[in-house]
């Protein structure tokens, strides 16, 4: 996998880029089926909010259900994970991000106005997340479903990304503040967080 010149330029200049097709139709539907099966199996749990040393639940701030995943190779989600791995190598070689390991999380917003308030995924100066990549698993999405990802690039107007099946968005974790607007239908996403090579 390689990044296009436009993607590299956008990541450097604006802090993010989007790709409308990441896996292709067949692989995307297979990954969606795996993700949906996990979400419906009851293994996900309510996401917490960290305030200092404490982690609390507050659905007014964050209403998604989450689970860390390590999918088997060759499965629908396994193919997605391999693409995320290749993406990390491409980000390191083309955008010089120096990435190492990554974690993969499945998130389900169950509808009913579930949201995630505006936040950063990392803060400058910490040896933690360097890049965030989100893949969406929502066929048949329409604007009335809500759940749009809103990015807040530096020195420009907010940008909305619809959570349409097989859409990928990549952004710099320390640089792009973002939020998930209220979702009025079930919304699935897989997020890969990439760490620097010096991260533990």
pLDDT digits (tens, 9 = 90+) for 127-181: 689 999 999 999 999 999 999 999 999 989 999 999 999 999 999 999 999 999 9
**CA separation for the pair 12, 17 (Å, rounded):** 9
The reported pLDDT for the residue numbered 21 is 98
* β partners of residue 111: none
The reported pLDDT for the residue numbered 60 is 78
The reported pLDDT for the residue numbered 58 is 72
Say which DSSP state 145 is in.
G
Per-residue tokens: 138: 């929502």
Q: Are 62 and 182 contacting, i.e. CB atoms less than 8 angstroms apart?
A: no
Per-residue tokens: 164: 């349409």
The reported pLDDT for the residue numbered 194 is 96
Could you read off the pLDDT of 30-74 as tens digits, one per residue? Answer: 999 999 999 999 999 998 766 555 667 777 789 999 999 999 999
Q: Where are the alpha helices (DSSP H) in the chain?
A: 5-14, 25-40, 76-95
The reported pLDDT for the residue numbered 68 is 96
Indicate the pLDDT class of residue 197, thresholds 50, 70 and 90.
confident
The reported pLDDT for the residue numbered 51 is 59
- 10 Å CB burial of residue 200 (0-12, 13-18, 19+) is exposed
Could you read off the pLDDT of 110-132 as tens digits, one per residue? Answer: 999 999 999 999 877 666 899 99
Whole-structure pTM value:
0.94
Count of C-beta atoms within a 10 Å radius of residue 7: 19
Q: Give the residue from 113, 79, 111, 95 showing the smallest Cα distance to 190.
A: 79
pLDDT, averaged across the chain: 93
């Amino acid at each position: 996998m390689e990044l296009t010149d436009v993607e590299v330029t956008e990541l450097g200049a604006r802090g993010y880029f989007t790709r409308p097709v990441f896996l292709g139709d067949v692989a995307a539907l297979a990954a969606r089926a795996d993700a949906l099966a996990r979400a419906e199996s009851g293994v996900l749990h309510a996401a917490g909010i960290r305030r200092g040393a404490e982690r609390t639940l507050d659905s007014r701030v964050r209403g998604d259900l989450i689970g860390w995943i390590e999918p088997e190779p060759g499965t629908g989600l396994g193919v997605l994970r391999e693409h995320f791995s290749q993406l990390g190598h491409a980000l390191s070689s083309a955008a010089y991000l120096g990435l190492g390991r990554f974690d993969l999380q499945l998130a389900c917003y169950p509808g009913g106005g579930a949201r995630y308030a505006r936040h950063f995924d990392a803060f400058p100066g910490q040896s933690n997340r360097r890049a965030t990549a989100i893949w969406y698993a929502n066929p048949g999405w329409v604007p009335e479903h809500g759940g749009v990802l809103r990015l807040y690039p530096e020195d420009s107007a907010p940008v909305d990304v619809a959570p349409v099946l097989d859409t990928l968005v990549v952004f710099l974790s320390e640089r792009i503040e973002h939020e998930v607007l209220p979702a009025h239908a079930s919304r699935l996403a897989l997020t890969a967080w990439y760490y620097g090579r010096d991260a533990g």
